[in-house]
A and B are shown apart, each in its own frame.
Chain A
């Protein structure tokens, strides 16, 4: 996390105050970082329904897992030929089970890795001040809005957050 944060952040008791403040900030061209104790669809609506690329990661690695799941038994069966019950050496039906399991396993592992990497990447891209990170009520019952801005805009956004009933507003002079 960057320690040179410059901007304003505030805490909110009510969800509707938070979403209204987000909407006004977005009208001014600001994409704030919002903290909340749980996921809320109202915040997503206010932020313009942000999307995550995680499904594409799952799809790609699921397909790769499927390929591995079919090709590993096919290759090993061909490497050491072991006729079983008069069935084909490369038998698609029983290998489908391995293909299915490998699809799920690869998709799951890389979904977890992918979302972890994306979260780290986004956190570096959208830093929040140390004081906001250490504000204990965001995990309890308060919402937060972090606005990254220049020193000349501190007053503007401080007023905006206060207008929407922010309980506390802090200015971080990077």
Chain B
């Protein structure tokens, strides 16, 4: 605490200072006030978050459950009637479902990026947000995983995607990007879940003992199952920390590989607009971009509702916004490069697709009958506006320090990234090499319902998570905090 003497009276001046200056740079991490708290306070704050929720929480969950129910009913209709009930047809074999799949896989990138990549690079601001981002990854990948199964039209035969011994000695084609995708997504999901659960173990032990301290024995028993007899001995910590580091090292190439492999689902095909080497970095940058935007979309309300200003500080929001801004520029550059390469390649088919995308020659749908509006055309302009133009205000620190502005921009980015996926999936299939092979696509209500349901599924799981498990890594917050020292400050 800073203090000054005015007329013989000691006055605390810290409250009038800007946020960053309140932090003692020698204690905790600069910009995250919570790292100046003592261990007990961090425990208490986290336990308080898991107390009985406000009635409005149940209302919110009910809203998400309604969306989920809509999705479930739509899914039942889709499975019962068959894939013909969707707008998918020749030549547009991939519509909303693959768009949703690519979108949700992208959302799932932020968690591992924050928990693994920023762990290896020792970015201190990740500490307060990585647990929630990691949970988001798990839920997003679970959501994404449903779509390829659904898209097959016969999800009960999904096991055909896995190489298993059978009487006809038929195996999956390992030269197909779709088989690569099965391996990439299942590996990513498995590693994300294991990484998430591993990080939770010490925190579950904390919650177990805090529940016991508060006389909540049933809660303590439930937490004890996940704590797996964790006591925090040096023998446990040494193996845990080494294992955690290895998980981070394994997850880092995985996070870059999985969306590269998803991009090759497209890039390996010879369709104009898809067959390009830029797709892997373009998809990965887009995934990080959309994932971080989703992190902010969910964490800003969490920060406000749970009053977590000391944990998810402006410093943290600023850092995330800076990464969003950086990836926005990569995405914008990739959009420009696509157009340049289409022109420079000299291929008339590439040029045609990239001419069709912005100039609406693919007009497929009419609002009034005489003013055709193309769904892919709408997707293109929304994509450019939301992903390239909307993030520009984040260059200003004033905007980055305005939570409402950040939340709106991040919401727009989520919309823009969904439409970017649709733009890639839909428009190239609509217009390939020969006009005889051109077609139109318009989603059915069932597809829209399942898409809404996927958001319901994701947000329901996330809402349950923030009230059932500690949404911040207590152990890492303590590790970042100033340890109790009898002989003064600790040197980092």
Contacts and interface: CB of A to CB of B under 8 A. Distances in A.
A11 interface: no
Contacts of A72: 163, 174
B174 A73 contact: yes
B180 to A, nearest CB: 5
Contacts of B240: 39, 115, 119
B191 A17 contact: no
A170 to B, nearest CB: 16
Nearest to A142: B39
Interface stretch (B63-71, B230-238, B365-373): B230-238
Contact of A118 (B172, B239, B475): B239
Given A80-B170, A87-B175, A126-B233, A104 B239 contact: no
B485 interface: yes
Nearest to A40: B483
Given A139-B205, A140-B39, A105 B190 contact: yes
A136 interface: yes
B58 to A, nearest CB: 30
B173 interface: yes
Where chain B touches its partner, the secondary structure class is helix
Contact of A119 (B209, B236, B475): B236
A101 interface: yes
B191 A98 contact: no
A127 to B, nearest CB: 10
Contacts of B251: 108
Contact of B231 (A95, A133, A165): A133
Given A38-B479, A123-B229, A33 B242 contact: no
Contacts of A139: 43, 205-206, 208-210, 232
B198 interface: yes
B42 to A, nearest CB: 9
Interface stretch (B253-261, B295-303, B339-347): B253-261
Contact of B235 (A97, A116, A122): A122
Contact of B485 (A15, A33, A107, A116): A15
Interface string B187-222: 100110011001000100110111011000000000
B261 A97 contact: yes
Contact of B238 (A17, A51, A112): A51
A138 interface: yes
13 contacts: A15-B484, A36-B232, A52-B243, A79-B171, A97-B180, A98-B174, A101-B184, A102-B183, A111-B250, A122-B235, A138-B209, A140-B210, A141-B39
Interface of A: 13-17, 33-40, 42-44, 47, 50-52, 54-55, 58, 62, 72-73, 76-77, 79-80, 82, 84-85, 87, 91, 94-95, 97-98, 100-102, 104-105, 107-109, 111-112, 114-116, 118-119, 122-123, 126, 128, 132-133, 136-141, 165
Interface of B: 38-40, 43, 163, 169-176, 179-180, 183-184, 187, 190-191, 194-195, 198, 202, 205-206, 208-210, 212-213, 228-229, 231-243, 246-247, 250-251, 253-254, 257, 261, 475-476, 478-479, 483-487, 490
